[in-house]
Chains A and B, each alone.
Chain A
């Protein structure tokens, strides 16, 4: 055996080589695992998409009684990867049996596409579970969340919609998105190198926080009722569109908001909040309220109109009346919607006051409703007004409003003079713990006194009972309202277009204690009928009569009581008895089935109560005051000089003498001169100048009431 020495130095070299290599590897580990760790950690996360989002359930939208208006519906989607199937024929047979589909069609579909196809989407969860229980290879069941709206398109515009990712993109869904959305959770589900997902039992997880349920002020019943009638009206009238908003005047809660037709996503809008229009006659309550509140006119004060129905009341203001009359009391001017008288009242009020009351009623500014895209309307300040602006705005032109502003303004008249802030959200029920927050009604400001609104309510009741809004009458229910027919401004030709109208009706009910205000707007009704009273008022009537039949509806103050009462006699309009001899007045009233009470002595009736044109029940009594005999015999024109315009007008009205006033302030000259015989036909011209002396004490409302309507109100 040859002797071989294995030198230890060479073994040492080999050992050192190996151990040095391990040292180098260790240094490499320090570099990779310590120094570069954050970078690789981030890459690993991206690589594996370790956190999988768990989508939260979107909160529900509920109506004021807790009925769902929008909710998340969990459905199943069934997909197939035919390439992974063991037996396509058996799989399609099984699937066809459970889903009720033709297996042969399924099999053919499987043969065409081997990688992926949808078998069925939006399937009921029970069906999805049954398909999952089959455990067919290559058939997958996944959950899909679908937003469901139980009212369908009827509330589509106000509620808005969500997109494919279940985020609100329109309407209340957008407005309340942060409340409804909730917070997604995540889980350490992750994807492997082949793209399949696995869940780790020990994996970190955060449960999703489901969105809060929100109770809206909307009433699902009313919403559906309004939609039905509005849609039918728009259909039969061949109108471009129609919209309506109903609210509770006591709280400002919006109970219904409907838009017809229902246009597709992106084109639809809740026009009652977002679109502005020239209101026309419905705006006349502003000027009427202004002159009443300011004491510039009394309800029964007579104003000159025009027998021809045409008048130029200011430079460039050429007004027409549909219901022609030589003169109107203020009540009748409202009842018959006289443009001429209302224009004159606008002049009487003056720009500053008219503007003050219009803005006080919320026109020209945002109402603050929590809804995306609300419009403020357009109302210029008086410094931009022309000579004809005052009468024009008084009859509802040169001003643009939203239906919501109109409803709130009428709400102020209905509830006694307080402008409410609109409300859409009643309560936000935060999550599972139930710590919700509720919204309380808020008043913006007081606009009118109680007395003014009471008179206005009477006037508006007369409109429906016997005026332009008769189509809104519902037997046995006192309804107040006002019609409006505005010619539309046509931007194409730069003027008011012929034959293009926007017809509206604003009403509240019941007239004596209103709990519901509604605005109905029909845009461009085509055909013979286009007046608001013919087009929009019937919609209001149908809504109210349907609503009355609804048990536990807002108009259900003891149905039994109404049912037990004998059928209400048809209301009678009180005739105009002024200047009639007592015998004739008596005969006239008896003809109409009314009872007569004569007060005082004289040859002519001087005043009456209730006022002419007011609707009363058959058998009611009418009081007539007779003029003193001295007055009727040789009355002379009183000396009005030194009196305020208001006092002078009051005295002239008592004598049934029309007045023409020039200037304002204190009467300085009258023609004919004092002491002349009463100029009943031609009237008196009064020249006035601003008052230089201290104002005389204003007559108390009591005396005013006695003067205008002796006996006061019941």
Chain B
């Protein structure tokens, strides 16, 4: 196998390591209260990190061509899993997002979003939106993605559905769709969003809380605003250098979901502004390397796949951080690589493996070009 962009494994593993440490710091108390074991969450996260590294290695070796051929099948399986979770999912916090699979619980949304990205990359290369008109070129692929989004919405997970739709839209944009064509699905998405808010009361409450906060800077500190309020206290009390790793106080059951959706708040509290900035830099670097991979990909399909994966990382990270810092309404989005959660971590590391593979193809292409310049005798092996 050719060597790809070394930054990608380094950055994704660095983020995973930060995640393991922060999960431990934020769950030791929760582990004691729930399971009488401070290491309960740490051990699980470590297991999943190992599984994630295995996924990374597997995905970075799998043939991209074969992966492309699998795309429609994966898409279908993802749709089925999502349907299954709607029917037989396990409840957690008022939403059924988990599907018990043997000893593991899987969040099909993580499989679905990666499958959707893969499927779109495969589809859009075959049916470039710019050449196929509005209906066939734009609405059809979006409609297929919207089917998955709709199934996710049924869980209900508005944010997951919205981010998937946003990814699809961005990939169409990258695939060269006309801007005028894109306004139609955007308008449709807004209508869908309005309907979804109407039918999901708890999302509406969160939105109203956010709007109140955004316009009057006041929070209902006991009710819907509690979580955000505690998150802001955690981040704000961190200061320049924070309370020191493990020294945070907000994780003592003040901040619900401190190890999943609000893990950044704990990080900012314990490591301070410097630590939080470092995390942002890690993400920025990863996004930069991902987009660079997309820009340099030899094949449009690979480029779209790389961009789609990077968009998944980027959009999840941006929205998670926006929620934690009070810039977006509170939703349940995990921070990629960092938050506690098995299927998300494994899916992200697998996707990072694919990204690494694509960057390797780039490197291979570049190397080929260079070698052609240097010695015309040698021929590249070409894309696998």
- Which residues of A does B touch, CB under 8 Å? 1-8, 10-15, 18-19, 21-22, 24-26, 28-30, 32-34, 36-37, 39-41, 43-44, 47-48, 50, 190-194, 198, 202
B197-233 vs A, Cβ < 8 Å mask (1 yes, 0 no): 0000000000000000000000000000000001011
Whether the pair A19, B288 counts as a contact (CB closer than 8 A) is: yes
Whether the pair A40, B321 counts as a contact (CB closer than 8 A) is: no
Who on chain B is nearest to A48 by CB? B249
B295-318 vs A, Cβ < 8 Å mask (1 yes, 0 no): 101001101100100110011011
Residue from A14, A41, A192, A202 within 8 A of B239 (CB atoms): A41
Give the contact-size bracket for chain B: 35 or more
Residue from B126, B252, B315, B322 within 8 A of A1 (CB atoms): B126
The B contact surface, by secondary structure, is helix
Cα distance, A41 to B124, chains bound together (Å): 51
- For the complex formed, measure the closest distance between the CB of B33 and the CB atoms of chain A, giving whole angstroms: 8
Whether the pair A190, B174 counts as a contact (CB closer than 8 A) is: no
Cα distance, A21 to B288, chains bound together (Å): 13
Whether the pair B235, A25 counts as a contact (CB closer than 8 A) is: no
Cα distance, A191 to B288, chains bound together (Å): 43
Whether the pair A192, B277 counts as a contact (CB closer than 8 A) is: no
Who on chain B is nearest to A33 by CB? B273
Cα distance, A193 to B322, chains bound together (Å): 24
Whether the pair A6, B255 counts as a contact (CB closer than 8 A) is: no
- Which residues of B does A touch, CB under 8 Å? 29, 124-128, 131, 170, 173-176, 230, 232-240, 247, 249-250, 252-256, 268, 272-273, 276-277, 280, 283-284, 287-288, 291, 294-295, 297, 300-301, 303-304, 307, 310-311, 314-315, 317-318, 321-322, 325-327
Cα distance, A7 to B272, chains bound together (Å): 39
Whether the pair B173, A30 counts as a contact (CB closer than 8 A) is: no
- For the complex formed, measure the closest distance between the CB of A704 and the CB atoms of chain B, giving whole angstroms: 88
Cα distance, A408 to B264, chains bound together (Å): 76
Residue from A7, A22, A44 within 8 A of B283 (CB atoms): A22
Leading 10 A-B pairs by shortest Cβ distance? A40-B236, A192-B252, A193-B253, A15-B291, A4-B300, A18-B314, A44-B237, A193-B254, A6-B303, A33-B273
- Once A33-B240, A43-B233 are accepted as A-B contacts, the answer to whether A6 and B277 lie under 8 Å apart by CB is no
Whether the pair B318, A36 counts as a contact (CB closer than 8 A) is: no
Whether the pair A33, B125 counts as a contact (CB closer than 8 A) is: no
Residue from A3, A41, A202 within 8 A of B236 (CB atoms): A41
The A contact surface, by secondary structure, is helix
Name, among A2, A4, A34, the residue most crowded by chain B CB atoms within 10 Å (CB to CB). Answer: A4
- For the complex formed, measure the closest distance between the CB of A188 and the CB atoms of chain B, giving whole angstroms: 9
Who on chain A is nearest to B318 by CB? A21
Whether the pair B252, A29 counts as a contact (CB closer than 8 A) is: no
Cα distance, A604 to B127, chains bound together (Å): 158
Whether the pair A1, B237 counts as a contact (CB closer than 8 A) is: no
Whether the pair A14, B174 counts as a contact (CB closer than 8 A) is: yes
10 A-B residue pairings within 8 Å (CB atoms)? A6-B300, A7-B174, A13-B173, A18-B287, A21-B314, A29-B235, A29-B276, A33-B238, A33-B272, A48-B249
- For the complex formed, measure the closest distance between the CB of A195 and the CB atoms of chain B, giving whole angstroms: 9
Cα distance, A24 to B311, chains bound together (Å): 17
Residue from A7, A19, A25, A48 within 8 A of B327 (CB atoms): A25
- For the complex formed, measure the closest distance between the CB of B155 and the CB atoms of chain A, giving whole angstroms: 26
Whether the pair B307, A37 counts as a contact (CB closer than 8 A) is: no
Whether the pair A36, B236 counts as a contact (CB closer than 8 A) is: yes
Who on chain A is nearest to B174 by CB? A10
Q: For B128, list chain A residues within 8 Å (CB).
A: 2-4
Cα distance, A191 to B253, chains bound together (Å): 9
Whether the pair B284, A33 counts as a contact (CB closer than 8 A) is: no
Whether the pair B294, A6 counts as a contact (CB closer than 8 A) is: yes
Residue from A3, A18, A50 within 8 A of B318 (CB atoms): A18
Cα distance, A6 to B327, chains bound together (Å): 32
Residue from B124, B252, B303, B318 within 8 A of A25 (CB atoms): B318
